[in-house]
A and B are shown apart, each in its own frame.
Chain A
Amino acid sequence: MTGSYDLLIVGVGGQGTIFASNIIGEACLSGGRTVRSAETHGMSQRGGSVETHIRIDGKYGPLISPGTADLIISFDLLEAVRYSHFLKKGGVIVSGKDIVVPTSTFQQGLEVPSRESLEKMLSGTEYYIIDAVSAALEAGNMLSQNIVMLGAASHHLPVKPGSLLEAVKKQVPPKTVEINSKAFEIGVREGKKQP
């Protein structure tokens, strides 16, 4: 219809969803492609559920409608399920394996669905679960989980992995280029293994 490739990056405020979207944006720009994105700022940052919409080759507005996304990258399994209705038929989910338990559940005594039951809720879609923590530790820094996830999702993105890696190197702090490059490569490897 519009010819854009539409993806959501979702997670918990503070996990680096906006930073990951900046890298995809950078990779698109260096390839001379248009890109539109919409992010959550302000109130929603503080440990809340966050979503960034990205439309690669997008020419119109930045928002993606439910049921039309090609890909969802989630840094948290619970959030992957929360936003899964955005996925179109035949779309793909790449999600981190872990769940940050919402503090409100402890306060209110709510039950947190198990990893198994969350995975069950994703059944019927093509999904890949990545152990981002182990991969980031292997790369040398817990904080590189978002780069791991980008690497893992790179198989589905209509952007060359090489230009994504270049964008990673350009965007991360200079001191961390090596660790993040490694995190990206490990992510690429982990993303390939599945399902």
Chain B
Amino acid sequence: MLGNEAIAHACVEAGIDFASGYPGTPSSEVVDTLRRQKVRDFYIEWSVNEKVAFENALGAAWTGVRSLVTMKHVGLNVAADPLMTSAYTGVKGGFVILSADDPYAHSSQNEQDSRVYAHFARIPCFDPAGVQEAHDMMAAAFSLSEEFSLPVLFRPTTRVCHSKSDVELGEPAGDHRKGSFEKDPKQYVVIPAHTRILHKKLNEKQAALAKRLVELGFNRYEIKGKTGIITSGIASEYVNEIVPGDVSVAKIGAYPIDEEWLVGFVSKHETILVVEECAPVVEEVVRQVACETVIHGKKDGCVPYEGELDPASTAAAFEKAGIPYNGDFPGDISPAEGLPPRPPILCAGCGHRATFYAMKRIFGNKGIYPSDIGCYTLGLQLGAVDTTICMGASITIGSGISNAGDENPVVCTIGDSTFLHTGIQGLINAAYNGANMTVVILDNRITAMTGHQPNPNTGVTAMGDPSPAISLEALCRTCGVSFVETIDPYDYVTMIETFKRAKETPGVKVIISRQPCVIDARRRGIKRKHYFVDAETCTGCGVCVKYGCPAIEFIDEKASINSLCSGCGVCADICPQGAIRSEVKR
């Protein structure tokens, strides 16, 4: 079972009543699994962003129900505002914040560590080492949240979320609670007079909390010799795989770490190596409590700060710290050289590619192209993405560049889901402050990159109920934009004409390029005729191949179209020879 599926099942076992989230790899399958349950007796939603998801789930927890909110690590930045103060207000029903970290940034813009947020907010944090433990910790996370009336952070990493393993599951909870909000302004209204008291109460919980995590067995150790390893999360699996029998191991599964307990381990060893991924969270506590023991870890270069660990890199850390290990990891290994790379690319027939192509035709190499987070970040390969930093930042970075005085045309690209996430505010701001720029909303009606989750633009909720699809046109006009045009990316000629008009018009222009995601369209049974290249007419000029569609190949100096073709027909429009045509049924 996939880690995220096991986590979702554990939530059902814990009897959750409310779940919300914003999709983000590697966290998305938790809510996706929950919403696909055949029998579902709890509320679930995909929210428009992580702050919104967080506050919804917090409100639910204040009514006494068990509530879950999911996001990826960078999503927690968006939700950080309510996070920090929710630690003060506390909760009534169990409230678990799942924030999945992505060491090695497999599909993320950074490698930040959610454990630091838990420390910052002074709330407990669970750090599972594998699929089974992620499952088992979830029930504990809900009950600990209720025991201490605190939000609990749950932090799996990519190799937990997207690992499969045999798992022992429990039974789904039978009964559910119904939310009922009891007014208590001293708890829920954080005016200064209240919040000063709440802050003191939060701090007073810490010592008992740390002790409780040891009692519950999440932080544990076994002393075997004068050398010890302290490890956390999935790194503890790599340690277990290679650690010799006479080396002690302490496993940190939850935070805050009880310092008295930790001293009991550290002081009995001459040498200690701390092995963890991401930030040196455990290591800093260990260094604080260590007196005479020599501590190795990230700070002395034994363990890398960046990327993810594996058995071989863990063995390398042992070696640097002078600790023997089991196993044979050949050191002189390097991948084969000179192979052509195979990066992920936009699908055959993806509307984003056509939009990028037309956009570049009109705005050229001098155009400045801030972009955003989604499939379309892959437009980098088409030379159509100049900046990406975080969700919603295409429009704001663009208006910043425009208002800083750069006179080159600024053309931002942003997906529909990302626009609804945090793009709107940037558009309001750009229109209000008189930026000169074009905003292209790449509208494929769904949140495609993370696995096709619905959003307010899709016309259906996470529960599968129909909901009115939002009008992006009306929304953009309301934001103060008068040039709002909708185009079909498969209609190349109109696209070119619309981009030209946008270039000639001053102020903020919005172009909505709308065509359903090809993967989603295919699943819904939409079929188009394939295209083919007439070899007689093809001169081998290579224009279509530069377009970068995976359905177009170049064989023996001529273009040809393979079975990936989804029939968008844009290549037929861009071929200067007219050599590409629609297949005729015989």
A residues contacting B by CB (< 8 A) are 1-2, 12-13, 21-22, 25, 28-29, 34-49, 60-68, 78-79, 81-85, 88-89, 101-107, 110-113, 121
Enumerate chain A residues within 8 angstroms of B344, measured Cβ to Cβ. 13, 43-48
B349 to chain A, nearest CB (A): 12
- Interface flags for B339-365 (1: CB within 8 Å of A; 0: not) read 111111111000000000000000000
Enumerate chain A residues within 8 angstroms of B326, measured Cβ to Cβ. 1
Enumerate chain B residues within 8 angstroms of A41, measured Cβ to Cβ. 25-26, 107, 162
Enumerate chain A residues within 8 angstroms of B106, measured Cβ to Cβ. 40, 42-44
Enumerate chain A residues within 8 angstroms of B241, measured Cβ to Cβ. 1-2, 60-61
Measured CA separation A121–B338 after assembly (Å)? 11
User: Can you name 22 A-B residue pairings with CB atoms under 8 Å?
Assistant: A1-B241, A34-B165, A35-B164, A35-B165, A37-B165, A39-B162, A39-B163, A39-B164, A42-B106, A42-B107, A43-B106, A43-B107, A46-B345, A49-B342, A60-B240, A63-B238, A63-B310, A66-B329, A67-B312, A67-B329, A84-B336, A111-B340
Enumerate chain A residues within 8 angstroms of B500, measured Cβ to Cβ. none
A102 to chain B, nearest CB (A): 4
* 17 new A-B contacts at CB < 8 Å, known A21-B164, A22-B164: A38-B164, A39-B164, A46-B344, A47-B344, A48-B343, A60-B311, A61-B159, A61-B234, A62-B164, A63-B159, A64-B310, A101-B553, A102-B340, A103-B548, A104-B342, A104-B548, A106-B554
- Interface size class on chain B is 35 or more
B375: Cβ under 8 A from any A Cβ:
yes
Question: Is chain B's binding surface mostly helix, strand, loop or mixed?
Answer: loop
Closest residue of chain A to B559, judged by CB?
A106
Enumerate chain B residues within 8 angstroms of A29, measured Cβ to Cβ. 166
A123 to chain B, nearest CB (A): 12
B550: Cβ under 8 A from any A Cβ:
yes
Enumerate chain A residues within 8 angstroms of B554, measured Cβ to Cβ. 106
Q: Are A61 and B238 in contact (CB under 8 A)?
A: yes
- Interface flags for B543-584 (1: CB within 8 Å of A; 0: not) read 001101110111000000000000000000000000000000
Measured CA separation A113–B337 after assembly (Å)? 11
Measured CA separation A111–B554 after assembly (Å)? 12
Enumerate chain B residues within 8 angstroms of A113, measured Cβ to Cβ. 338-340
Q: Are B333 and A82 in contact (CB under 8 A)?
A: no
Q: Are A107 and B546 in contact (CB under 8 A)?
A: yes
Closest residue of chain A to B312, judged by CB?
A65
Closest residue of chain B to A66, judged by CB?
B333
B52: Cβ under 8 A from any A Cβ:
no
Measured CA separation A19–B209 after assembly (Å)? 43
Q: Are A103 and B550 in contact (CB under 8 A)?
A: yes
Enumerate chain B residues within 8 angstroms of A84, measured Cβ to Cβ. 336
Enumerate chain A residues within 8 angstroms of B334, measured Cβ to Cβ. 85
Q: Are B545 and A81 in contact (CB under 8 A)?
A: no
Measured CA separation A62–B346 after assembly (Å)? 29
